[in-house]
Amino acid sequence: MGAIMPVSTNTAGKKVWQLRNRNETLTRWFCFLVLVATFMWCWKYISDATTWFFVWDAPNIAADIGSRAFPPRWSYMDKLWGPIWDTLNIATIGTVLALIIAVPVAFLAARNTTPSTLFIRPIALLIIVSTRSINSLIWALLLVAIIGPGTFAGLIAIAIRSIGFCAKLLYEAIEEIDHKQVEAITATGASRMQIMIYAIAPQILPAFAGISVFRWDINIRESTVLGLVGAGGIGLQLQSSLNTLAWPQVTLILTVILVAVVIGEWVSAKVRGAII
C-alpha cells in the first residue's frame, strides 16, 4: 500500500512523519542509482583507455617538468611583444566585427522585433545556435584550412564564434524590454526605424555594453590559444616552445597569458561598473 501523505500510520498505529512519501523516495533512489551506475560505467571506460603506469609516474613527471620550467626565460619576452599585440587585436577587432553582425541578427531573432516569426526568426536562431555551439578553436581550425594560417584566420574565428553568443544575450534583452515605452513612441506616429532608435535602443544599451565587454574578456582568453592551430597570436609561440620542449619559455608564456587574462578581467569589470 503506497502512502500518499507524508504523514502515514505505521504498523503500531502511530502517525509517522516523513519528508517524502514512499513513491517519491523510491524514485529518488532509482535516479540516484542510475546516476551512479552511469558514472561507474563511464569511469571504467576512461580507466580502460588509460595507461595507469604513466599515471602512477605522474608526480615524478610533474616534478621533472616543474624543475625544468623554472626559472622562466625572461629574455624571451622581447619576442613576445608582437604576438601580444596581435592577440589583443584579434580579441578586440573580433569582438567589434561580431557585434556589427550580432545586432541585426538579434533584432531578427527577438520575438517582438522580428519581421516574420515563421520564416526569418528560425534562420536567425539557426545562425545563433550554429555559431555558438562550435568552439572558436574549431572555427580557427576550419578557417586555417580555408584561408591559410595567420592572424586573419584567428580574427574571423573569434568573430564568428562571438556572433551567436552576443546575439543570443542581446535578443533575450530585446525580448525583455518594457513594451509600454515602445507603445508610447509608436503612438506619436514614429516609423519602424524611429521606434527602434528611440524606444528599443535606449532600453537595451546597458545590456549591449555589458555583453560587449563580457565577450571581449572571453575573447582575450580564447585568442591566446588560437595559435595552437596556427591562427596567430601568442599561442603560436606557445606551440613552438612546446614542440621544442623549451619549458622555461612555456612558463614565461603562461605567465604572460595569466597576466593578460587578469588585466582583461579587471578592465571589463571596471568598464561594466562604469556603465551600470
Partner 1 sequence: MSAATLEARLGQRWRKPPFIRNNLLRWAMAAGVFAYLILAIGSFDVNWARVNEGLVRGWLFIKAFMSPDFLSRSIEIREGMLESVIITITSTVVGVLISIPIGLGAARNIAPLPVYLICRGIITLSRALNEIIVAILMVAIFGFGPLAGFITLSFATIGFLSKLLAEDIEDMDKAQAEAIRATGSSWMQWINYGVQPQVMPRLIGLSMYRLDINFRESAILGLVGAGGIGATLNTAFDRYEFDTAAAILIIIIVTVMVLEYLSGFIRAWVQ
Partner 2 sequence: MLKLEKLTKTYPTGDQALRAVDMVVPNGQVLALIGPSGAGKSTLIRCINRLVAPTSGKVILNDLDITALGSGGLRRARRTMGMIFQEYALVERLTVMENVLSGRLGYVGFWRSLTRRYPQSDIDEAFRLLDRVGLLDMADKRADELSGGQRQRVGIARALIQNPELLLVDEPTASLDPKTSRQIMRLICELCRERGLAAVINIHDVALAQMFVQRVVGLKSGEIQFDGAPGEMSEEVLTRIYGEEDWKATIAKAEDEVVA
C-alpha cell at 12: 503500531
Q: x-or-dash pattern for partner 2, window 73-112, by CB under 8 A?
A: ----------------------------------------
Is residue 184 close enough to count as binding partner 2 by CB under 8 A?
yes
Is residue 187 close enough to count as binding partner 1 by CB under 8 A?
no
Asked whether the beta carbons of 90 and 158 are under 8 A apart, the reply is yes
- Give the residue among 73, 112, 89 at the shortest CA–CA distance from 232: 89
Angle at Cα 171 formed by Cα 184 and Cα 143, nearest 5°? Answer: 145
Q: Is the peptide bond before 71 cis (omega within 30 degrees of 0)?
A: yes
Q: Where are any strands of DSSP class E within the chain?
A: 7-9, 15-17
Is residue 51 close enough to count as binding partner 1 by CB under 8 A?
yes
- Beta bridge partners, 15, equal 9
Task: Candidates 10, 46, 180, 276: give the one binding partner 2 (CB under 8 A).
Answer: 180
- Give the residue among 170, 153, 149 at the shortest CA–CA distance from 101: 170
**Cα 261 from Cα 222, distance rounded (Å):** 10
In this complex, which beta carbon is closest to partner 2, that of residue 176 or of residue 178? 178
Q: Which does 4 bind (CB under 5 to 8 A by kind): partner 1, partner 2, none?
A: none
CB of 75 to partner 1, least distance (A): 22
Q: Which does 188 bind (CB under 5 to 8 A by kind): partner 2, partner 1, none?
A: partner 2
Q: How many CB atoms lie within 10 A of CB 249?
A: 23
Is residue 145 close enough to count as binding partner 1 by CB under 8 A?
yes
In whole angstroms, what separates CA 158 from the centre of its chain?
12
Contact window for partner 2 (CB under 8 A) among 73-81, 94-102, 119-127, 182-190: 182-190
- Beta bridge partners, 275, equal none
- Give the residue among 220, 238, 225, 251 at the shortest CA–CA distance from 66: 251
Q: Which does 5 bind (CB under 5 to 8 A by kind): partner 1, partner 2, none?
A: none
CB of 269 to partner 1, least distance (A): 13
Q: Which residues bind to partner 2, rule: CB under 8 A?
A: 178, 180-181, 183-191, 193-194, 197-199, 202-203, 205-206
Interface residues with partner 1 (CB under 8 A) are 35, 38-39, 42-43, 45-46, 49-51, 54-55, 58, 61-62, 65, 85-86, 88-89, 92-93, 129-130, 132-135, 137-138, 141-142, 145-148, 150-152, 155, 221-222, 224-225, 228-229, 238, 242, 254, 257-258, 261-262
